[in-house]
Amino acid sequence: MTTCLTPAQLADRHRDTLDTALETIAGRGYWSPYPEHPKAYGDGATVLNSLDAEQGLAAFNAVRDSRFELDQPGTTGWVGAEHSPYGFALGVSYPKADIDQLLPAMAAGVPAWRDAGPEVRALVCLEILARINAHTMEFAHAVMHTSGQAFMMAMQAGGPHAQDRGLEAVAYAYAEQTRLPRNAAWSKPQGKRGPIELTKEFTAVPRGVSLLVGCNTFPTWNGFPGLFASLAAGNPVLVKPHPHAVLPLAIAVRFAREVLHAAGFSRDLVTLVAEEDGGTVAADLARRPEVRIIDYTGSTAFGDWLETHAPQAQVYTEKAGVNTVVIDSTDNYKGMIANLAFSLSLYSGQMCTTPQNLLVPRHGIATDDGEKTYDQVVSDLAAAVEHLLADDSRAVSILGAIVSPAVRARVQTAPEIGDVALRSRSIRHPEFPDATVRTPVLVKLDAAKPEHEAAYRAECFGPVSFAVAVDSTAEGLALLRSTIAEQGAMTVGGYTTSEEVERGLVDVCLEECAQLSLNLTGGVYVNQTSAFSDLHGSGGNPAANAALVDAAFVADRFRMVEVRRQA
């Protein structure tokens, strides 16, 4: 086998990027090595050898209606039934794997990968990310036509932002594995006698096979952190995508296999196991003794099941939650309304970070534009969403398409829950007439009405939000607290000009362990986080048992073996 990528070449290409990533996760400023502007991609553009949007589409079209070859051992057939939320079948089929052949093949590559050490592993991961980055436009189409995200969002969130999260995970994994020196000399004084001397050698060793159970809405953004953290820590990674969003992760697996091979390692350190709806591969794999790490994004039911039924594995989950915004007062009423309108509209509210419950005091709020009643706040927000989405072609570029019939059904039945402040409308996509596109629905609920409680106490995933009238901000804070404690939350938002209320919001979030965004009125939204700076989730409330990305996310993906010898 010809080794095409030497450690020196890899270091030359990527060591600076790794170092900057390490600095940035410590300082938490803004940085990304992967441009988010579409113009950065294409012939002669910033990112070398990258595809432009048209080439990305061509690459996407080239894999449609074909077999996605990965040359994996134990391939026993072909499987795949992805259907774009924009209204067509992808027609791609993926290798079906005999797991009893695949797992030993994955294990065979481990010793060399372990012996390569943390730096080479990190650099190989960065080369994989670099090739993924160059194909951002291909990922854009793949993510768009599996998740239903609009093109620009699929390009950014499914491309550079996901790559950022992957790199962040690599940086953390490298930092954790290099906290102990490779070799140490130990000399213990013994008074008049000479000292006792030992040499010590520390090696990061992998835990075992890492299983990534992907999600439908953000296959790369939610998948890359676990994939790269585990791989950088020396573990082989088995990628089990959501049956409706296989392609983005399959492309990533292909690049990983290509780079591992070029760098002289086994391709089978990263493999794909695809399945169609109704399969039980994730549950079957999760209980295999070889599987020692599981990363999962999806329903609370299966997440909880994994946390209790796979005791042999470290299990990192992101599950359902109920995100709340407490609206107490503002010195920028227009900015607040516009910011919230965008938050509710982006990707049709199909983000785990989209606000669901907007808590507004029934007596109204103080603003720079005078007192606003509960009804005014709600109708102003409804009008802002309508205005934002008034133009159909602009609307589809923000909304994207509805990912599943279940989400569509929730939009349909939302009016039964309470008074509708903003009716959802159906939009015909100018380019994809069969896409299901819906604007958000905003329902008025009242915390004083027991019959409303079931609705705002459960996640209603999709473009359905509740404007919940509360007696006071204090009642709102109490409701926020119990909602985080019982349902969990990926995000919390707050608007207030009162120091006391701000302190109350911060206290609730510190005590119930949730990430808080205060008084966002500009171009940052509560549903967005930035890699290297923001944490995604806290890992400390029921919505997720891990945060993206911190040391706890990587520290237990490897163990440290010490060999000590008499000096």
Nearest to its own copies of 430, 522 (CB atom): 522
Helix (H) or strand (E) holding 240: strand 237-240
Q: Which is nearer to its own copies, 126 or 171 (CB)?
A: 171
Site string for its own copies, 119-158 (x = CB under 8 A): ----------------------------------------
Task: Retrieve residue 316's tokens.
Answer: 């990192």
Q: Does residue 179 touch its own copies according to CB under 8 A? A: yes
* C-alpha–C-alpha distance, residues 120 and 222, integer Å: 24
By CB under 8 A, name the one of 128, 213, 245, 509 that touches its own copies: 509
* Paired strand residues for 558: 206
Please work out, in degrees rounded to the nearest 5, the angle formed at the alpha carbon of residue 379 by the alpha carbons of 472 and 406. Answer: 95
**How many Å apart are CA 31 and CA 246, to the nearest integer?**
29
Instruction: Please report whether residue 180 would count as binding its own copies according to CB under 8 A.
Output: yes
Phi, psi (rounded to 5 degrees) for 83: -130, 120
Under the binding rule (CB under 8 A), the answer on residue 207 touching its own copies is: yes
Task: Kindly calculate the radius of gyration of the chain based on its CA atoms and give it in whole angstroms.
Answer: 25
Q: Which of 285, 501, 520, 549 binds its own copies (CB under 8 A)?
A: 520
Choice between 217 and 529, CB closer to its own copies: 529
Contacts with its own copies: how many residues (CB under 8 A)?
A: 66
Q: Of residues 18, 513, 531, 543, which one binds its own copies by CB under 8 A?
A: 513
Other beta carbons within 10 angstroms of residue 450's beta carbon come to: 8
Regarding 293 and contact with its own copies (CB under 8 A), the answer is: no
Q: Is there binding between residue 48 and its own copies (CB under 8 A)?
A: no
* H or E segment to which residue 426 belongs: strand 426-427
Find out whether the peptide bond into 508 is cis, omega within 30 degrees of 0. Answer: no
Residue 34 or 68 with smaller CB distance to its own copies: 34
- The answer to the question of residue 478 lying near its own copies (CB under 8 A) is no
One residue of 58, 205, 383, 398 binding its own copies per CB under 8 A: 205
Stretch that binds its own copies, among 26-34, 66-74, 219-227, 398-406 (CB under 8 A): 26-34
Tell me which of 44, 189, 370, 450 binds its own copies, using CB under 8 A.
189
- Verify binding: residue 55, its own copies, rule CB under 8 A: no
Cα–Cα distance for residue pair 529/508, rounded to 1 Å: 20
By CB under 8 A, residue 30 contacts its own copies: yes
Binding segment for its own copies (CB under 8 A), chosen from 87-95, 212-220, 461-469, 527-535, is 527-535
Q: Which of 179, 255, 183, 244 is nearest to 214 (CA)?
A: 244
**Which region holds residue 194: left if phi is over 0, alpha if psi is between -120 and 50, else beta?**
beta
Tell me how far, at minimum, the Cβ of 511 lies from its own copies, in Å. 7
Q: Smallest Cα–Cα separation from 556: which of 293, 327, 250?
A: 293
CB of residue 517 vs its own copies: minimum separation in angstroms?
5
The strand pairing partners of 493, in sequence order, are 325, 517
Structure-block tokens of residue 560: 């440290």
Q: Which two tokens stand for residue 274?
A: 């695809």
Hey, what amino acid is at 409? A
Cβ closest to its own copies, residue 28 vs residue 449? 28
Asked whether position 499 contacts its own copies by CB under 8 A, the answer is no
**Cβ 516 to its own copies shortest distance, Å:** 5
By CB under 8 A, tell whether 116 contacts its own copies: no
**Interaction between residue 539 and its own copies (CB under 8 A):** yes
Q: Least distance to its own copies from the beta carbon of 122, Å?
A: 17
Q: Does 308 bind its own copies (CB under 8 A)?
A: yes
Q: Does 104 bind its own copies (CB under 8 A)?
A: no
When the beta carbons of 406 and 506 are compared against its own copies, the nearer one is: 506
CA distance 350 to 436: 13
**Residue 195, H or E segment:** strand 193-206
State which residue, 194 or 370, has the beta carbon closest to its own copies. Answer: 194
Name 303's Cβ contacts closer than 8 Å, sequence gap at least 6: 296, 317, 318, 319
User: CA 55, CA 77: separation in Å to the nearest integer?
Assistant: 30
Query: Is 171 near its own copies (CB under 8 A)?
Result: no
- Contacts of its own copies in 346-375 (CB under 8 A): none
CA distances from 542 to 24, 159, 400, 505, 537 (A): 29, 28, 28, 19, 10
- Cα–Cα distance measured from residue 475 to residue 511, given in angstroms and rounded to the nearest whole number: 17
Considering the rule CB under 8 A, would residue 561 count as an interface residue with its own copies? yes
Smallest separation (angstroms) from its own copies to the CB of 331: 11
Taken in order 520, 526, 528, 534, is the CA torsion positive or negative? Answer: positive
Q: Is 278 in the site for its own copies (CB under 8 A)?
A: no
Q: Environment class of residue 193 by beta-carbon count within 10 Å: exposed (0-12), middle (13-18) or buried (19+)?
A: exposed
Question: Of 154 and 513, which has the nearer Cβ to its own copies?
Answer: 513
> For binding to its own copies (CB under 8 A), which residues are involved?
26-30, 111, 114, 176, 179-181, 184-190, 196, 198, 200, 202-203, 205, 207, 307-308, 311, 506-507, 509-511, 513-524, 530, 533-535, 538-540, 547, 550-552, 555-556, 559-566
